[in-house]
């Protein structure tokens, strides 16, 4: 992890001196940020727009960014999250997230998509029944694979609070899943 952080620190220092060097940070994080945004908004055009705004704001904010051994990636997620919220308020659209829908730019076979759908259909229904805060917390920690420390930076809460809220969200998810009827699963040994 320290190698990635020191690499980011070097890239940030370079980008502060030469705005063209920001491209390396963009290349490193743009797909992750786009994927996160897309999972939230479920629209490629909107995801592209918010991704662009996120990186534009990051580039503009970079001169004031102070490296304090905090994750640059988490800073980008926080900017993206704020832009998603701003966009949803503008549209007054607070639809549940679809975590498992992949951007169409990913080339996946039909069989792979069908398997993925079959594997996650039950959990997606359960996630849709959770609160927006619970879904967001689970998405950041598990789908975006951020550390608890990075999630705390994104949500601007303590790491302890991340663990407590995550524990409660997962309990609610489990309870919701236990209340659902069991879906038909493909039998592989027939």
What's the mean pLDDT in 64-90? 84
CATH of 104-182, one of 2.10.210.10, 1.10.10.10, 3.40.50.300, 3.20.20.140: 1.10.10.10
How far is CA 33 from each of CA 24, 44, 157, 172, rounded to the nearest angstrom?
A: 14, 13, 20, 27
Architecture of the domain defined by 1-95 = Orthogonal Bundle (1.10)
The label of the residue with tokens 């390396």 reads 24
What's the mean pLDDT in 47-65? 91
DSSP state letter for 156: T
> Is residue 153 a contact partner of residue 71, using CB atoms and an 8 Å limit?
yes
Hey, where are the domains in the chain?
1-95, 104-182
Average pLDDT across the chain, whole number: 80
Reading the block at residue 44, the tokens are 């490629």
**Model's pTM, two decimal places?**
0.61
Reading the block at residue 157, the tokens are 């809460």
More confident residue, 47 or 143: 47
What's the mean pLDDT in 41-49? 91
More confident residue, 146 or 112: 146
The C-alpha angle 133, 135, 137, rounded to 5 degrees, equals 70
pLDDT at 16: 87
For the cut 70, the answer to whether the pLDDT of residue 98 exceeds it is no
């Amino acid at each position: 992890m320290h190698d990635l952080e020191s690499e980011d620190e070097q890239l940030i220092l370079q980008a502060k001196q030469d705005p063209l060097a920001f491209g390396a940070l963009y290349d490193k994080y743009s797909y992750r940020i786009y994927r996160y945004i897309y999972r939230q908004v479920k629209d490629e055009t909107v995801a592209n727009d918010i991704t662009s705004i996120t990186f534009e704001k990051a580039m503009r904010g970079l001169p004031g960014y102070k490296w304090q051994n905090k994750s640059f990636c988490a800073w980008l997620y926080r900017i993206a999250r704020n832009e998603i919220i701003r966009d949803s308020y503008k549209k007054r659209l607070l639809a549940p997230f679809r975590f498992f829908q992949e951007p169409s730019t990913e080339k996946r076979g039909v069989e792979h998509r069908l398997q993925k759908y079959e594997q996650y259909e039950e959990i997606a229904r359960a996630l849709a029944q959770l609160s927006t805060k619970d879904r967001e917390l689970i998405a950041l920690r598990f789908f975006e694979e951020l550390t608890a420390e990075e999630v705390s930076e994104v949500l601007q809460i303590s790491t302890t609070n991340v663990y407590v809220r995550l524990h409660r969200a997962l309990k609610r998810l489990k309870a919701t899943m236990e209340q659902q009827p069991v879906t038909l699963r493909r039998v592989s040994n027939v």
